[in-house]
Amino acid sequence: MLPLTRHALHRLALAAGLGLSVPAWALEEGGASCPQLDFGVPAPELALDPEQVILNADNAALEEGGLSKLTGSVRLRQGDKLFSAEQMDFDDRENSVRVNAESVFRNREMSVRSQQSEFDLDSQTGVFHRSEFTMPASSAHGTAERLSLNREGEADMEKVSFTTCAPKSRGWELKAGDIHMDREEGFGTARNARLDFLGVPILYAPWFRFPIDDRRHTGLLYPTIGDSDRTGFDMQVPLYINLAPNYDATLTPRLMTERGTQVATDFRYLLGSGEGKARYEYLSEDRQTGEMRDYLHFEHQSLINRRTALSMQYDGTSDQSYFEDFGGRLDLTAITHLERSARLTYQAPAAYRVQALVQDFQPLSSALVAVDDPYRRLPQVLVDAETRKSLFDTRAGFNGEYVNFAREDSVQGQRIDLRPYLRTEREGAAWFARGQLEYDYTTYRLTDLGFAPGQSQDPSRSLPSLSAEYGLRFERVTDSGQLQLLEPRAFYLYTPYENQDDLPVFDGGEPDFEFTQLFAHNRFLGRDRVSDANQVAIAASLRQLDPDSGVTRFNASLGQLFRLEAPRVTLPGGTAPDSGATDFIASLDYRISEKLRTVLAAQWSPNDNKFNRSSLGLSYRSERRRLDVGYRYRENQLEQTDLILSTPLWQRWSAAGRWRYSVDDNQTLDSQAGLQYETCCWTMRTSYRRYIATTAGEYSSGVYVQLVLKGLGQIGSGGSSLLQSDSDFYQ
């Protein structure tokens, strides 16, 4: 359950009539607030003496026993409380107030207009009859037949109604027979509560308790409702369980008419030096497959001491189709393996680091065979060290690795990789220079050689390597006052050739050719292959910063790699690149204005005069409109477009949608369309989605409906949650 703001306290105190824990985002739902009741009494200023009573009236009649009958624009003020009425009885001996006419009571948090009231100024207790109340800070108001307050923060109300809608509106209204609130305990208790929407009752609860402050309490969260052709009607009703100040749980029954009833349990904990969470989903019998389906996720991070950290992760599921059937997101269908790992790291600052890893995977894709699975690391030990002090700007360092690779029906074995180096660095105000000389020694001890006839049992490799980099920094201030930074740089790498065909491939690979690859010391991933190299990289970056805000308005990079000799080392079945100039690598991130931004990345071949890879993103943002246009292209791999749009239509109506399309396959990957109707106090959203849900390319579709009661919460799930974030869009 998310923490509640102080304003939320007052909304919950009268609004949580369903006994549901209100998340903070629901309290801050966008849109202008509705016009509220105005009793015409300004909030009082805090008095210097909170116990001092100040009375003002046009006429005063004193009677025996200390009773004063005040008439005509009566004002009584004590601390932050203010009474206003045309007639008031003030008992000086009892220090109490009685009003038998219409009056207004106000403090800094709420205003109450009642037809009759009594208030004891000493005990700070009062009773208001036939009252209307409003809380300006939270745009909420309501009525109560009887409302009583005391100094301890307890409040009792009878025949209560509450809403954030405008007066006389038929939007939503919460009604209860009586409500008792205890601020010391942080709980409220309501009886005979009913929620009306457009005059129609939609929820009822005979009795419940609900939180009235930011302390966590056990209770129901708002349900999620939808419909999908893979799950049928889909409803989730979470129950939050506050177990202790440092750990809690959420139990979520999920009813799926096509699958059955699933139960999910979330557990979170916070320790003195660590934290973690776990989730377990269980379906005893899937109505479509007749099998038990489950999924377990666990992650933990902690500090054992000041220098030692532990992180663990475990993901496991009963079958390969679990996320296709229950995941509900396009990205989940692309998962091929689930990771299980434990990592122990010891860090001696500015000296050395030791890391131990145990890692395993569960395959998910039925299209993969065993030899496509990643190797398990049982274990892997990494050591990185560097001298603290330098001699003639030069430091000595060491990178080492031991790893034991295991996989069924494959060559297995151990690998040791040792890389001592000397690194020199010098830097001035407008330049920098770096150089590195390293020596790489790699050796293997292999088993199960029957899967690779002719493979040597203990192959090894020894290679030196030399690299040097030099860069300049230029700064200037433009006529408009913007700061421009130009950074050209050159990088040289030399590694001699050594035949490595007898080495196995456990974790080796070749990454995409991107800007960072221009300055990489090895064109391969992992340590199974070290590419020979005799090459120079030339690149430049240009940035433009706003000196007032520090925002980078313009960031562009351009680079190219020149191979003086063609590399000869390859992965099995791979080909080596040619000598000469490579493709140009370019990127651009330009904030054209506060609302408009464009992002571009491209790989252009001067030999073929074409783009081998490109991506383009154009984004427009305003308070009420959003437009994102994306394009991705990789030669012989993919060509996709992505469009996101949300805009007002007419008066209170607005629409949102998304369309992801594969140009290569002439196929829609994901399409969504949503319609929204919004008033000042409630919003109704409905959306439809159709997307590829399986690795086999099968589609799934669903209908989503969401009702948002501003200041109270939401029921269901709507289209707004289906649109991805900016960070995901620009990747």
pLDDT digits (tens, 9 = 90+) for 517-552: 999 999 999 999 999 999 999 999 999 998 877 788
Distance CA 193, CA 203 (A): 8
Phi and psi at residue 235, in whole multiples of 5°?
A: -135, 130
What is the band of 202 on the pLDDT scale with cuts at 50, 70, 90?
confident
Closest CA to 164 of 29, 255, 354, 343: 29
pLDDT exceeds 60 at position 153: yes
Positive or negative CA dihedral for 337, 342, 347, 351?
negative
Rg, Å, the chain Cα set:
34
Residue owning tokens 């297995």: 412
**Residue 677: beta bridge partners?**
653, 684
Contacts of 696 (CB under 8 A, 6+ apart): none
**Residue, of 171 and 495, whose pLDDT is higher:** 495
Closest CA to 324 of 377, 274, 378, 286: 286
Query: Which amino acid is present at 713?
Result: G
Mean pLDDT of 703-725: 67
pLDDT exceeds 50 at position 7: no
Mean pLDDT of 157-183: 86
- What pLDDT digit, counting tens, does each position of 52-97 carry? 888 889 998 888 778 888 999 999 888 878 889 999 999 888 889 9
Query: Which amino acid is present at 506?
Result: F
Q: What is the pLDDT at residue 228?
A: 83
| Residue 602, H or E segment | strand 596-605
Are 108 and 43 in contact by the 8 Å Cβ rule? The answer is yes
**Number of residues that make up the chain:** 731
pLDDT exceeds 60 at position 5: no
For strands 638-650 and 653-662, give the pairing.
Answer: antiparallel
Q: What is the pLDDT at residue 334?
A: 64
Sorted by where each starts, the structural domains of the chain and their CATH numbers stand as 6-215 (2.60.450.10), 408-584 (no CATH)
Mean pLDDT of 551-570: 95
Mean pLDDT of 500-509: 94
- What pLDDT digit, counting tens, does each position of 251-306 carry? 999 999 999 999 999 999 999 999 999 999 999 999 999 999 999 999 999 999 99
Closest CA to 523 of 500, 503, 495: 495
Where does 383-473 have alpha helices with state H? none
Contacts of 191 (CB under 8 A, 6+ apart): 176, 177, 178, 179, 206, 207
Residue owning tokens 């351009």: 558
Distance CA 121, CA 156 (A): 18
User: Can you read off the two tokens belonging to residue 654?
Assistant: 């607005």
Are 54 and 33 in contact by the 8 Å Cβ rule? The answer is no
Q: What is the pLDDT at residue 137?
A: 67
User: Where do the DSSP E strands lie in 79-123?
Assistant: 81-91, 96-99, 103-106, 111-114, 116-120
- What pLDDT digit, counting tens, does each position of 477-486 carry? 988 888 999 9
**Which range in 156-170, 191-205, 581-595 is most confidently predicted, on average pLDDT?**
581-595
Phi and psi at residue 25, in whole multiples of 5°?
A: -65, -30
Distance CA 582, CA 562 (A): 6
Distance CA 545, CA 565 (A): 39
pLDDT exceeds 60 at position 687: yes
User: Can you read off the two tokens belonging to residue 100?
Assistant: 């038998």
User: Can you read off the two tokens belonging to residue 678?
Assistant: 């919004």
- 448 secondary structure, DSSP code: -
Concatenating the DSSP letter of every residue in 286-327 gives -TTT-S-EEEEEEEEEEESSSSEEEEEEEEEESSTTHHHHHT
| Residue 10, H or E segment | helix 6-15
User: Where do the DSSP E strands lie in 507-579?
Assistant: 533-545, 552-563
Closest CA to 531 of 490, 564, 576, 487: 576
Q: What is the pLDDT at residue 276?
A: 97
pLDDT exceeds 70 at position 648: yes
Using DSSP, how many helices (H) and how many strands (E) does the chain show? 4, 45
Other CB atoms within 10 Å distance of the CB of residue 179: 26
Mean pLDDT of 202-214: 75
User: Can you read off the two tokens belonging to residue 606?
Assistant: 């001067």
**Residue, of 50 and 142, whose pLDDT is higher:** 142
> Taking CA 724 as the corner, what is the angle to CA 597 and CA 311, rounded to the nearest 5 degrees?
110
| Residue 11, H or E segment | helix 6-15
pLDDT exceeds 80 at position 163: yes
Q: What is the pLDDT at residue 82?
A: 87
Are 119 and 108 in contact by the 8 Å Cβ rule? The answer is no
- What pLDDT digit, counting tens, does each position of 419-469 carry? 999 999 999 999 999 999 999 999 999 999 988 888 899 999 999 999 999
> Taking CA 294 as the corner, what is the angle to CA 290 and CA 297, rounded to the nearest 5 degrees?
170
Distance CA 299, CA 310 (A): 11
